[in-house]
């Protein structure tokens, strides 16, 4: 009887080990779970803008950002400069900016952003990208005039199959690994992180332009 029980225990143990190995093999074959993506996430690491030699700060675009904590830098890509027409109102101008940002993000699958500036008569932006699907670094520069302490940004396009980039990995402190699949971006809503930034803030949505002055004060301009 004791020998029979011993064989029964041994057989049970073999079955359990086999089941565990099978489970691990299935887990290894499964793709990584999608990682939620939001728009223009604030970086969890400190970075500084770096200008090329001879550039004028506040006017010329930086050429990269430097992340000292990991001894890495990322290039800053110019997207385009825009200036309002004489007499053009801010919302009308930002609608044109929205169209440019949305087109860029749809094409490149990266966020675009800009500081909004004014010289008292006309508005302007210098749009840039950090090459990230879910982060943006608003360059502190003005095409003309001074900052209005407002910014506008686009989302990555609202379609599946997007992946985090190396810029997302660096700016998220490693929590968003390069190459990981992202969830579908929400192109029409601010994230919780957006409300911690400048107010008012603007979102270049696919269907409309959005303005937020806190989570309870959102306006859509179609």
pTM value is 0.80
pLDDT for 29: 32
Query: What is the number of other CB atoms lying within 10 angstroms of the CB of residue 206?
Result: 15
**Lowest pLDDT segment from 50-64, 103-117, 195-209:** 195-209
Distances (CA, A) of 139 to 7, 31, 62, 114, 135: 71, 36, 7, 7, 13
Distances (CA, A) of 165 to 153, 193, 213: 18, 20, 30
Buried b (16+ CB within 10 A) or exposed e, 38-74: bbbbebeeebebebeeeeeeeeebbbbbebeeeeebb
Domain boundaries, the chain: 1-30, 48-221
pLDDT tens profile 66-114: 999 999 999 999 999 999 999 999 999 999 999 999 999 999 999 999 9
Confidence check: pLDDT of 173 > 70: yes
pLDDT band at 41 (very low <50, low <70, confident <90, very high): low
């Amino acid at each position: 009887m004791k020998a029979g029980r011993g064989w029964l225990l041994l057989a049970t143990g073999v079955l359990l080990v086999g089941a565990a190995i099978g489970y691990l093999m299935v887990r290894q074959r499964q793709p990584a779970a999608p990682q939620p993506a939001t728009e223009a996430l604030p970086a969890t690491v400190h970075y500084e803008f770096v200008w090329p030699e001879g550039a004028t700060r506040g006017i010329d675009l930086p050429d990269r950002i430097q992340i000292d904590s990991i001894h890495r830098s990322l290039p800053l890509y110019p997207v385009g400069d825009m200036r309002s027409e004489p007499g053009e109102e801010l919302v009308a101008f930002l609608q044109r900016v929205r169209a440019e940002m949305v087109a860029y993000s749809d094409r490149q699958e990266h966020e675009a952003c800009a500081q909004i500036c004014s010289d008292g008569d006309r508005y302007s932006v210098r749009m840039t990208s950090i090459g990230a699907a879910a982060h943006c670094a608003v360059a502190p520069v003005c095409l003309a005039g001074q900052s209005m302490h407002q910014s506008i940004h686009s989302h990555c396009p609202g379609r599946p199959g997007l992946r985090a980039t190396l810029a997302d990995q660096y700016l998220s402190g490693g929590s968003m690994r390069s190459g990981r699949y992202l969830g579908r971006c929400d192109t029409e809503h601010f994230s919780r992180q957006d409300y911690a930034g400048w107010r008012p803030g603007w979102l270049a949505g696919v269907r409309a332009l959005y303005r937020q002055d806190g989570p309870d004060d959102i306006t859509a301009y179609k």
